[in-house]
A and B are shown apart, each in its own frame.
Chain A
């Protein structure tokens, strides 16, 4: 393809206008927005505080002693970043792509498929960051986040959201109907239960340990748990790398596929 003779009139940040559009929609449906705060809180209160009474404290590799709730809370932070960003990037995108035809209208303007993909991604990450900030504040209130590193929790949520939103959006471009989304649920639920979320990795059978370490949510949990307990380690860097690569591949695929679907 020859170099464009004319610069795209909106420059590089055209995607922000799609973020604005989503903001306008959610400003009215703020109830829907608020429910996003509740999910991780409910898990934390039921599983964390409830089971804590039955389970002894943990001793981390560096010798720190933490309660079961302190152990589970960061996992809920990671899981809610996954669920929240997946919701917008899969159901949300599918609805606008197949039913609302929002993107058909958007692409009649100077915006390009890449602007659509980036705009939706940025929007879902903004949401993930806001929910994560509220959750971390709640954790601090309950005395579950003693480390200053916990302030980076929202940033970790963005990295996790990036991975899942990118991959989810890419997969959504192949979805034919709502039934196909069951495949995503099928992948997400076991991940939620078995990514060292509710019990530590060394309690898994040896054979299962490597499998757990392959899943993206495991790396999300490692990242969040490191930050909220203050047990910073090299494995967190690996986690960031894993999630960043996953998100970038997803985003690239989503861009191509959206272009192929919409610019026929």
Chain B
């Protein structure tokens, strides 16, 4: 099996719920071993796409092949080789932490000794061994998410699908989860994730698509997307809120591009410090000035005219 074997191939993929079109014709190819991300705001169609790939939602149009099979006909066979970590925790609250893994493993047809062995390994992997006998409702959000990740790995999936894996987690919990996902990636597990956090996409994804209102607006590696759709640096300026438009006109020429946000101006330029200096020399005194590297947030803002976080 070559490194460029496609695990997911979507062409013109569509999904409608009644009159609402959630996914409006997307082309995606995910190759074995890569970490692939869908970046976009809430409601962009990321989760709908994930559900179709996970063979739990029939496509409304286009073609879709997952692991070389058709999800409509071969759902069970596809699902037996996928790991799914949904956005909302679907842990079984009537079972203990360890029982959640045991029962789930049995759904994949694993023998009892095998599933017991894997459950203990996975509890260690997500650092939950000491909570094995706890009831699920006693766990914090971060621990629940870790258990969900462990559960999704019980069948040793070829591709792990994570829908907004760190939404709602505190920074420490996020970093621990990122670390575990990074290890999986190094072991050769293909990762497919959705996120509306640009730092998450930058940390984890080899390649990603930016998705907005059901269509793909850009595709590439994080670095490549920033290169193609933004400048190297950004100068963030905050003035008194009432005169942003007037100020914007005066400093427009200082950068390659300028964005006016409700609370600040963003000037895109190769050299952010030079912009900051030129602003001061022009007689303007912003309340605060911040020079930083461009991120995927800037890419998204440029491509859609909207912020990811909203």
- B56 contacts A262, CB within 8 Å? yes
Residue A256 interfacial (CB < 8 Å):
no
Interface size class of chain B, counting residues whose CB lies under 8 Å from the partner chain? 35 or more
- In the assembled complex, the Cα of A263 lies from the Cα of B54 at a distance in Å of 11
Provide the A90-119 mask, 1 if CB < 8 A to any CB of B, else 0.
000000000011101111111110000000
- A111 contacts B107, CB within 8 Å? yes
B135 nearest in chain A by CB position:
A28
Complex interface: stretch among A17-25, A64-72, A125-133: A17-25
Chain A residues, Cβ within 8 Å of B58: 263
Provide the B82-113 mask, 1 if CB < 8 A to any CB of A, else 0.
10101010111111000100111011110000
Pick the contact of A105: B17, B51, B72, B90 (CB < 8 A): B90
B51 nearest in chain A by CB position:
A264
Residue A8 interfacial (CB < 8 Å):
yes
Chain A residues, Cβ within 8 Å of B109: 9-10, 14, 17, 110
- A24 contacts B99, CB within 8 Å? yes
- B77 contacts A9, CB within 8 Å? yes
Interface size class of chain A, counting residues whose CB lies under 8 Å from the partner chain? 20 to 34
Chain B residues, Cβ within 8 Å of A108: 54, 56, 79, 82, 84, 86, 90
- B107 contacts A17, CB within 8 Å? yes
Return B12 CB to nearest CB of chain A, in Å: 20
* B-side interface mostly: loop
- A21 contacts B103, CB within 8 Å? yes
Chain B residues, Cβ within 8 Å of A24: 95, 99, 102-103
* A-side interface mostly: loop
- In the assembled complex, the Cα of A2 lies from the Cα of B75 at a distance in Å of 13
- A102 contacts B54, CB within 8 Å? no
- A110 contacts B77, CB within 8 Å? yes
- B92 contacts A10, CB within 8 Å? no
- A6 contacts B69, CB within 8 Å? yes
Residue B73 interfacial (CB < 8 Å):
yes
User: Which residues of chain A from 18 to 37 have a CB within 8 Å of any chain B CB?
Assistant: 18, 20-21, 24-25
Residue A4 interfacial (CB < 8 Å):
yes
Q: Can you list 11 contacts pairing A with B, beta carbon distance less than 8 Å?
A: A2-B73, A4-B73, A8-B77, A17-B107, A21-B106, A24-B95, A24-B99, A25-B95, A104-B86, A108-B79, A110-B76
Q: Which residues of B contact A (CB under 8 A)?
A: 17, 51, 54, 56-58, 69-70, 72-77, 79-80, 82, 84, 86, 88, 90-95, 99, 102-104, 106-109, 151, 155
Q: Which residues of A contact B (CB under 8 A)?
A: 1-10, 14, 17-18, 20-21, 24-25, 100-102, 104-112, 262-264
Closest 3 pairs between A and B when the two form their complex, measured CB to CB:
A109-B107, A6-B77, A105-B90
